[in-house]
Amino acid sequence: MLVIVAPGQGAQTPGFLSPWLELPGVADRVEYWSAVADLDLRRYGTTADADEIRDTAVAQPLLVSAGLLAAEQLGDTADAVAGHSVGEFTAAAFTGVLSPEAALVLVRERGRGMAEASATTPTGMTAVLGGDRAEVLEALATHGLTPANDNGSGQIVAAGTVEQLQALADAPPARARLRSLSVAGAFHTQHMTPAVERLGALAAGVLPGDPRTRLLSNADGAVVRSGRDYLNRLVAQVSSPVRWDLCTETLSDLGVTAIIELPPAGTLVGLAKRALRGVELLALKTPEDLDRARELIKEHAGSPSSSSEGL
Percent of the chain residues topping a pLDDT of 90: 91
Neighbours of 201 (CB within 10 A): 12
Buried residues in 9-40 as b, exposed as e (16+ CB within 10 A): bbbbebebbebbeeeeebeebbeebbebbebb
Would you state the pLDDT for residue 310? 42
Could you list the active site residues?
85, 188
Would you state the pLDDT for residue 184? 79
Would you state the pLDDT for residue 195? 94
Would you state the pLDDT for residue 303? 63
Res 201 pLDDT > 60 = yes
The one-letter amino acid code at 242 reads: V
CATH superfamily of 2-119+189-310: Malonyl-Coenzyme A Acyl Carrier Protein, domain 2 (3.40.366.10)
**Stronger pLDDT, 308 or 234, i.e. the higher one:** 234
Name the segment(s) of the chain with CATH classification 3.30.70.250: 120-180
Taking each helix axis as running N to C, give the angle between helix 227-237 and helix 87-94, from 0 to 180 degrees, rounded to the nearest 10: 170
Question: What's the rounded Cα separation, in Å, for the pair 204 and 274?
Answer: 39
Would you state the pLDDT for residue 84? 97
Would you state the pLDDT for residue 153? 85
Determine whether domain 120-180 maps to CATH 3.30.530.20: no
Question: What's the rounded Cα separation, in Å, for the pair 11 and 265?
Answer: 7
Res. 237 pLDDT band, cuts 50 70 90: very high
Mean pLDDT, the chain, rounded, equals: 94
Global confidence as pTM: 0.93
Name the segment(s) of the chain with CATH classification 3.40.366.10: 2-119+189-310
Three-state DSSP class for residue 60: helix
